[in-house]
């Protein structure tokens, strides 16, 4: 630990403490997945680069400036500088050798990319988005209720009245784009609480060739469901189409209704719905 002698200022001490905390987190996270190991290595290299830019480079520039100034002075000053240089010379920091290693520094970017890629794949195959929400099958007449946790005064019941896939939008007032396809859901939203509530926002998740791509709905037409923010009074009901313009040959994996403080409500295809129900049952059995 001889390099601890080089810590001369508070920022340097704080930097070492931060790196130590990062290494502890690295060890914990790396034990859980390969992605954590890659991400930790990239994080250490990134901190090394920051250290070099913020501490080492200014030191080197100062030393070069001092050496240049000494070379401009006379012989006596040069001799004096040579005698005092060892006492004033700042030793290299603990990370300078690592930062100067070109392959390691250049590996930072691809390692970060690999870490994010592995994490994304793990999330995709696990099917766990961290927010269980409420899932109901994408079937005519299916409905689900959502309410603010711990506040039964704010609740909504949403019913799927129909779905549509075609080259023409189901609402004639929506301008048609011949290069696109239209997926839509006709829904009914009822405020089942005792206080006014906004209508939810909607999202569509594509399946098939472009699986994973999300779409926002088109502006509501004459037959469309008003988009948020639109307040529903207690017991008020609104019915209309939510229309999405998508790339041809895409279908919908789910339609999602979202509203702040409420759990998300998903109208999902049968396979996705059954997967979520099975996952919830396994989690409940474990608890």
The tens-digit pLDDT sequence of the chain (287 residues) is: 455 555 566 666 677 677 777 777 666 665 555 555 556 666 766 666 676 667 777 777 777 777 777 777 655 555 555 555 544 445 555 555 555 554 555 555 556 655 555 555 444 444 444 456 899 999 999 999 998 887 878 899 999 999 999 888 888 888 888 889 999 999 999 999 999 988 899 999 988 777 788 999 988 776 677 665 578 899 999 998 999 999 887 788 999 999 888 999 999 998 888 888 777 666 655 55
Q: State the Cα–Cα distance between residues 170 and 228, nearest whole angstrom.
A: 20
- Token output for 240: 């209309």
Residues 6 or more apart whose Cβ sits within 8 Å of residue 257: 146, 158, 187, 200, 201, 202, 264, 265
- Token output for 287: 């608890």
Q: State the Cα–Cα distance between residues 198 and 229, nearest whole angstrom.
A: 6
For CATH 2.60.40.1240, list the domain ranges present in the chain. 134-286
Answer for the pair 267, 185: CB distance below 8 angstroms, yes or no.
Answer: yes
Q: For 32, which DSSP code?
A: T
Q: For the stretch 227-258, what's the b/e string if a residue is b when 16 or more beta carbons lie within 10 angstroms of its beta carbon?
A: beeeebeeeeeeebbbbbbbeeebbbbbbbbb
Q: State the Cα–Cα distance between residues 185 and 217, nearest whole angstrom.
A: 10
What's the whole-model pTM score? 0.52
Q: State the Cα–Cα distance between residues 115 and 123, nearest whole angstrom.
A: 12
> Would you say domain 134-286 falls under CATH 3.40.50.720?
no
Q: State the Cα–Cα distance between residues 179 and 103, nearest whole angstrom.
A: 47
């Amino acid at each position: 630990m001889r390099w601890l002698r080089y810590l001369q200022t508070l920022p340097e001490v704080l930097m070492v403490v931060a790196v130590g905390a990062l290494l502890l987190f690295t060890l914990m996270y790396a034990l859980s997945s390969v992605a954590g190991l890659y991400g930790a290595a990239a994080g250490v290299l990134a901190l090394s680069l920051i250290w070099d830019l913020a501490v080492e480079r200014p030191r080197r520039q100062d030393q070069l400036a001092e050496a240049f100034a000494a070379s401009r002075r006379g012989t006596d000053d040069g001799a004096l500088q040579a005698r005092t240089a060892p006492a004033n010379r700042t030793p290299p920091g603990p990370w300078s050798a690592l930062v100067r290693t070109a392959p390691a520094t250049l590996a930072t970017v691809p390692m970060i990319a690999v870490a994010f890629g592995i994490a994304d794949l793990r999330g995709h195959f696990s099917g766990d988005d961290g927010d269980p929400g409420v899932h109901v099958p994408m079937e005519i007449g299916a409905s689900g209720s959502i309410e603010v946790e711990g506040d039964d005064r704010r609740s909504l019941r949403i019913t799927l009245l129909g779905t549509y896939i075609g080259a023409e939008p189901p609402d004639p007032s929506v301008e048609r784009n011949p290069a696109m396809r239209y997926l839509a859901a006709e829904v009914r939203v009822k405020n089942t609480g005792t206080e006014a509530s906004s209508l939810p926002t909607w999202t569509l998740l594509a399946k098939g060739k472009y699986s994973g791509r999300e779409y926002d709905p088109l502006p509501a037409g004459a037959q469309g469901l008003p988009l948020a923010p639109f307040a529903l009074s207690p017991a008020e009901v609104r019915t209309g189409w939510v229309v999405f313009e998508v790339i041809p040959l895409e279908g919908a994996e789910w339609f999602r209704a979202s509203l702040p403080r409420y759990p998300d409500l998903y109208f999902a295809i049968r396979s996705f719905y059954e997967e979520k129900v099975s996952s919830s049952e396994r989690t409940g059995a474990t608890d």
